[in-house]
Amino acid sequence: MPDSVDLQPDVEDVLQEEAPDTTTVPVCVVESKSPLRVQQLPRKGGATFTRTLTETPTRLLTADHRRASAKLRALGLDAPVAYSFNRASAQDLSTMSELPGLETETVTATVELWARAVTGTTRVSVTAETWAEGE
């Protein structure tokens, strides 16, 4: 009886696997004796908006590790800001940081941002920039 022919292709051929690259060596740089070039990632996106706030804390920004910075500007009266909504931050006016009216504050933390009006209403303008994610 003649040898049977295997009509099933090899799995490696179907998956188009490449041969393992054995020329790389893992390296861990502990100390550098030459100059290193470091550059900041470009900013490729962002958002702009203006909110009218009351005395109830309002979340302006969610936590986002891709956010490079956010610029805040109170367009009227002072606007207190906080990084989280809990008893130690946005729920108590005395624990919030004051954003003076018509001044710009740059926030580089990637945490939530809450704000409210001290009395009545106030408007807050936000300009946020995000890092590039690679292409």
On the question of pLDDT at 23 being above 80, the answer is: no
Instruction: Name the more confident of 24 and 122.
Output: 122
Q: H helices then E strands: how many in the chain?
A: 1, 8
Average pLDDT estimate for 90-99: 80
pTM over 0.95: no
Average pLDDT estimate for 40-56: 89
Instruction: Provide the pLDDT for residue 91.
Output: 72
On the question of pLDDT at 22 being above 80, the answer is: no
Please tell us whether the domain made up of 41-127 is placed in CATH 2.40.40.20. Answer: no
Chain centroid to Cα 123, Å, comes to 24
Render pLDDT for 68-82 as a digit per residue (tens, 0 to 9). Answer: 999 999 888 778 888
Domain residue ranges of the chain, discontinuous segments joined by +: 41-127
When mean pLDDT is compared across 5-14, 30-39, 47-56, 69-78, the lowest value belongs to 5-14
> Dihedral sign, CA of 18, 20, 24, 25?
positive
